[in-house]
Structure 1
């Protein structure tokens, strides 16, 4: 696509709460990593599908939703694959075939798994719980995630999971915010990786916007 043609493409990303929605963060971060120029559209907190997503009641998330050049894509992994097709130069998937398969595998694992972590440590960027008590089910998920991180960082020599930023980093980015919110203790390589992700300019932008977000969803403003 030529620069002139690309400039004429209408692109928007529909998302929900920046404070609470890990899926919205993943889709938004993928678009930023791809260098896509897009308009943000925020679903109101009283929309039933938004509330279902944020309260972990929805079996199928319809946000984030990317509209690009007449194509509508929802589901975070589908968005990642679509962005890789239209912006291959962004490197959202590794160039090496084996690494590419590995990247897809751990991204898919995050997409479909870790339900104990999601329910016990919901995303909440405004909150901080020092000394938070983590129960065994969630700890198992944490252990698996840190094993994935250590393996990737050692295998591909960092500083990100596959050397450079890929879709896998976007998929695991909300976990980094959860680890900070709930004071999860990490070993040195995982702690350094988590801080590296949280220090990305796009992540800092998202976190600042989340902290400025009004408190509108009473069910999620709970004590842990």
Structure 2
């Protein structure tokens, strides 16, 4: 089956990155189109494609839209089950991890929107972000210790795709995390699919000023 995957700006759309990783890492046949974030009329651009008018949206062969990232993962997994771990306990943990990312970490998302074109340093993210980081360390360590790595539940799975933008935020905003969490972040920065996505993000489209922050800047890590 060939899918149609509608995505947003590569530099800024964290949910689009998650969906793209699913099709790229598992070599899933998908025609990809992008909506522009420049004019902020994303809903108008998606009016005919999906009732949610959000990205990412996966359109099935019969025209049915799937407009939620977790639903996209589950829909793709019906034909490509290796998106989730084969081992049942690992699969359960991977789904728990992805669901928590899907619904949680609000402070990290609000204070540190994904921006793959710039890196920051030497600023105080506040208590809310710090609490989110400690929670990430705890659940990442649990999964990595239980399943032995190198990814959260052994081999790369949808759970890792869901945490890729989190790793990009930690790296891009110079956030302090434990040694084990930092190693997991580095694995994402070195992962070929993420590197390909970011390379395109650096060259496609203009900088969007509403994503910029006034913090001291640094070189992108890695």
- TM-score exceeds 0.5: yes
- Check 1:152–1:175 CA distance in 2 against 1; reply closer, same or farther (3 A cut): same
Query: How far apart, CA to CA, are the structure 1 residues paired with 2:153 and 2:170?
Result: 21
Equivalence for 1:64: 56
Q: 1:16 aligns with which of 2, 8, 28?
A: 8
Q: 2:24 aligns with which of 28, 32, 38?
A: 32
1:136, distance to aligned residue in structure 2 (A) = 0.3
Unaligned runs of 5+ in 2: 45-51, 216-222
TM-score, normalised relative to structure 2: 0.86
Q: 2:210 aligns with which of 204, 212, 219?
A: 219
1:88-126 Cα offsets, whole Å, 9 max, x none, are: 2xx221222222222111111100111111011111111
Equivalence for 1:57: none
Secondary structure of the corresponding residue to residue 178 of structure 1: helix
1:147, distance to aligned residue in structure 2 (A) = 1.1
- Check 1:50–1:206 CA distance in 2 against 1; reply closer, same or farther (3 A cut): farther
Aligned residue pairs total: 206
| 1:92 and 2:59 are equivalent in the alignment | no
| 1:120 and 2:114 are equivalent in the alignment | no
Secondary structure of the corresponding residue to residue 210 of structure 2: helix
TM-score, normalised relative to structure 1: 0.85
Q: Is the 8 A contact 1:61 1:75 kept in 2?
A: no
Equivalence for 1:5: none
Q: Is the 8 A contact 2:7 2:35 kept in 1?
A: yes
Equivalence for 2:170: 179
Unaligned runs of 5+ in 1: 1-8, 52-59
Query: How far apart, CA to CA, are the structure 1 residues paired with 2:178 and 2:53?
Result: 33
1:188-214 Cα offsets, whole Å, 9 max, x none, are: 221111111121111000110111133
Query: How far apart, CA to CA, are the structure 2 residues paired with 1:16 and 1:82?
Result: 20
Runs of 4+ in 1 over 4 A off after TM superposition: none
Aligned-residue Cα RMSD (Å) equals 1.8
